[in-house]
A and B are shown apart, each in its own frame.
Chain A
Amino acid sequence: MFSLLAFIFATLNAGAQDPGLKIGDTAPEIRLLTAANDSFALSSLRGRLVLIDFWATWCAPCVKEQPELKNLYDELKKQVGEGKFEIVGVSLDKSRENWVKAIERLQISWPQVSDLKFWRSPVAKAYHIEELPFNVIIDGYGKIIAMNLHGEELGAFVRRHLGTD
C-alpha cells in the first residue's frame, strides 16, 4: 500500500523536470562571472568530475543543502587539489548583495557564478531547469552522468566515480 503511494508520488516528481537534457548529453557551456567578478567557463574544468549546483539564496531547500555540499567538498579536498573533482555553484539570484553575503555566511569555497537574472537567466533555459534545487554531474569529457541527486545518494555517486568509496 505504502509502496504504491510512494510510486505514484515518485512518478509525479519524475515528470516535474523538463526532459530537455538527459544523461549522456554534453552539458551546455556556462560562461559567467564569479562573485569576485572573474570570468569563468565550465569547459575550463575538462578532465574533472564536476558537480554543477543550481541554487539561489531565495530557495530555502538550496540554502539548506549548502553545508552538505561543504562537507563533501572538504572530504574531497585532496581530489579537488589534484584536479579530479570540482563543484560549481550557479546562482539564480537577482540581488548581488544577498548572493555575496550568503557565500560568506555559508563559507562556500568552490567557484560561484551568476548572471543575477533570477528565472530569466539564459543558463536556466539552457539546462531546462524547472525547479530548484537542481544539479547535474558531468564527467571529464563534459558529458552529463547524473542529474538531480541529493543527500546520501549524491555523496555516494561522487565517491564511487572518484574511487574513494
Chain B
Amino acid sequence: MYRIFLTGVLAILAFQVKAQQKQEPWKPGQLMATEVLADRILAGEAENMLIVSIGPDDPIEGSFDIGPGKDKESIAALKSLLGKTPKDKEVVIYCGCCPFDRCPNIRPAFKLLNDMGFKNAKLLDIPKNIKVDWIDKDYPVKEEN
C-alpha cells in the first residue's frame, strides 16, 4: 500500500517537473540562486552583469527598473535597454512579487531575452518573494527614495 502511494507521489512530481520544463522559457541552468547574486554584488563583481527588475519595484542594489513585464510598455522599455547591451552580456532579471507559478511578469520578459538572442540570460530564483528571499536575508538593497 505504502509503496503504491510513494510511486504515485513520485509519478505526480515527475510529471509536474517535466510539464514545467516543457512550458517555461528558461532552462533550469538559467536560474540563479539569490545567494549567488548577493555574493557577487557584495564582492563587487556585479559590474559585468546587467540586473533588471521586471516586477513592481527594484530593491536590489545596482538593478535597473523597467516596470512589470506583463505590461507592453515595460517590454518596450526592456527591448530598448537590451538593444544597447552586448548579446553575450550576462543579464539577470527578477520580479519578486510572488512564487513563479503566480508571477505574470517573468515569462514575457524572459521570452524577449530569448527572442533577442541573449545566451547568457538568467532568472533570479525567488521561491517566495523579494522580502522573504532577499530583504529579510539582509542582501544588498538600494537606498529607499
B135 touches A119 (CB 8 A): yes
Give the Cβ gap from A53 to chain B, nearest Cβ, in Å.
16
B132 touches A130 (CB 8 A): yes
Question: Among the listed stretches A56-64, A70-78, A136-144, A148-156, which one makes contact with chain B, having 4 or more residues with CB under 8 Å of it?
Answer: A56-64
A4 contacts the other chain (CB 8 A):
yes
Of B9, B68, B97, the residue contacting A59 (CB under 8 A) is B97
SS class of chain B's interface: helix, strand, loop or mixed?
loop
B5 touches A4 (CB 8 A): yes
B106 contacts the other chain (CB 8 A):
no
Of A16, A93, A131, the residue contacting B98 (CB under 8 A) is A131
Give the Cβ gap from B63 to chain A, nearest Cβ, in Å.
13
Query: What residues of chain A lie closer than 8 Å to B128, measured between beta carbons?
Result: 16, 130-131
Most-contacted residue by chain B among A16, A119, A131, A132 (CB, 10 A)? A119
Most-contacted residue by chain A among B9, B97, B102, B104 (CB, 10 A)? B97
Cα A94 to Cα B129 with chains together (Å)? 14
Cα A30 to Cα B119 with chains together (Å)? 46
A58 touches B129 (CB 8 A): no
Cα A131 to Cα B98 with chains together (Å)? 7
B59 touches A58 (CB 8 A): no
Least CB separation from B57: chain A residue = A118
Cα A119 to Cα B95 with chains together (Å)? 11
A120 touches B57 (CB 8 A): yes
Q: Which residues B125-145 have CB closer than 8 A to chain A?
A: 128-132, 135, 141, 144
Query: What residues of chain A lie closer than 8 Å to B59, measured between beta carbons?
Result: 118-120
Query: What residues of chain B lie closer than 8 Å to A60, measured between beta carbons?
Result: 102, 104
Give the Cβ gap from A153 to chain B, nearest Cβ, in Å.
21
B102 touches A119 (CB 8 A): no
Least CB separation from A62: chain B residue = B98
A5 touches B131 (CB 8 A): no
Cα A58 to Cα B9 with chains together (Å)? 32
**4 other A-B residue contacts (CB within 8 Å) besides A119-B57, A131-B129:** A58-B56, A60-B102, A119-B97, A132-B98
- A→B interface (CB under 8 Å): 1, 4-5, 16, 56, 58-61, 93-95, 117-120, 124-125, 129-132
| A-B CB proximity, top 6 nearest | A119-B131, A118-B57, A94-B56, A94-B57, A119-B130, A58-B97
List 20 interface pairs A-B (beta carbons < 8 Å), by A numbering: A1-B5, A56-B56, A58-B68, A59-B97, A59-B98, A60-B102, A117-B144, A118-B56, A119-B96, A119-B97, A120-B141, A120-B144, A124-B131, A129-B131, A130-B128, A130-B129, A131-B98, A131-B128, A131-B129, A132-B98
